[in-house]
Amino acid sequence: MKKSDLGPESINEGRRRLLKMGALGTAGVAVGASAGGIILSPEAQAALPKVSTQARIVIAGAGAAGLSLASRLSERLDGAKITLIDARKAHWYQPGFTLVASGVKGQNYPVTTTAEYVPKNVELIEEFVAEFDPEGKSVTTASGKKLEYDYLLVTTGLKLDYEAIEGMDTSLIGTNGVGSIYQSPEAAFKTWQLLDKFADTGGEAVFMRPATEMKCAGAPLKYTFLTRDHLYRRGNLSKANLTFHAQTNNLFSVPIVSEKLRMLFEERGVNVKYNHVLSGIDPGRKMAYFNTQGEGRVEVPYDFINVVPPMRAADAVRNSSLPWQDGPWAADGWIEVDPTNLRHKRFPNIFAVGDVAGVPKGKTAASVKWQVPVVVDHLIADIQGKQGTAIYDGYTSCPMITQLGRAMLIEFDYHNNLVPSFPGVIAPLEELWVTWIIKTIGLKPTYISMLRGQA
């Protein structure tokens, strides 16, 4: 899609609508019912008196959650020693990967640097955490540096476990029809180059999601829609066969959304296979292998495949005593926290925010935006000897792109309730131009503001 396809008048109108909705969404000091409690606006928070403390606070991970927490805490606390630990110098706006992989944005669109978002009074240690010792209240970095803490905020994100797929290696991305949008901006761009060629030739396109929890579960679905739309716009839809392989018997965890997506796939000729989990690929044969219920292991040929790997907690987290000891989140190492405030159930001086938290929903940047103020509220209250009051009820947002220029703004909570931010303005299950504008123009500036503690 070229920029000229949109047209300046349409873009300007979209921006006007977006600004109008932004005014609606930021009015007042409370965020509304979706957070389950009162959370002050950035302006109101800035007016709060600083809390004096000598607390040592370690934040393990400088992604969206870690940087947002560092910014908010540095603003609210006076005298605290805040240390942020992460080896990766580049910061990736991961919601932009799908846009890169569909040719809407360039390869560098998601890329900035971690350092530019770190507050001046926060120390950044450019290493990974190699060991967590909750009992000893310390972490150890990859070089052997040991840091003791009074409070630990675990924001390590997750591990993309490509190694769990037989025959898969990240070096394959961009070759032999093997795409994968998650691994990096470069991988997303290589996947776009494959899609660009596929849209001219057609063939068998294979899409899926893993059987594990995953970040932005809507991304594989929206990428299926985008692939289909590129084929349609080039007049090659009849030359292609698109199949989405769902890991369970539904397409989405929210039943009403799952049914809407099923109807859209059926309407647009996208095949769906349920209870299919990718177990391996053979790039030379262009063959994918899926484990199924009832059929055993099946072979599926492809000309283009978007590989979505299993996702788990980072090894250092999984090898510690932080994860759930039993239940659905134990095997992959998700951290055992109270879902309403993200505080660890066994170590009350530890919180987990973002992808690594073992909660029913919430592995999106939108979830981080709502989780961070809740954790800040409880941590500062604890420093003051009080009880925090803010509640996180699982708010998650997914701008579900269904075609180039149209998307649905799907927002929901732990209980699968739809919780629209703009009731009466944006219908959550309608394919709207304005939602496309929010996704492609409006969300990144909001995200950057979140990193700086201003959203």
Name the residues annotated as catalytic. 216, 398
> Hey, how many other C-beta atoms are within 10 angstroms of the C-beta on 282?
14
Measured CA to CA, the distance from residue 172 to residue 311 in angstroms comes to: 19
Phi, psi of 197 (to 5 degrees): -70, -40
> CB of 211 within 8 A of CB of 247?
yes
Say how far residue 179 (Cα) sits from the centre of its chain: 19
- The set of residues, in sequence order, having a beta carbon less than 8 Å from that of 432 and lying 6+ positions away, is 406, 407, 408, 409, 426
Residue 20 Cα distances to 8, 116, 445, angstroms: 18, 30, 16
What is the DSSP pairing of strand 396-403 with strand 406-412? Answer: antiparallel
Compute the distance between CA of residue 354 and CA of residue 392 in angstroms, rounded to an integer: 12
Q: Are 241 and 204 in contact (CB under 8 A)?
A: yes
Concatenated DSSP letters of 123-190: EEE-S-EEEEETTTTEEEETTS-EEE-SEEEE----EE-GGGSBT--GGGTTBTTEE-SSS-HHHHHH
What residues have CB less than 8 Å from 385, skipping those under 6 apart?
Answer: none
Q: In what order do the strands lie in the sheet with 146-148?
A: 129-133, 138-141, 146-148
Q: How far apart are CA 426 and CA 153, in angstroms?
A: 35
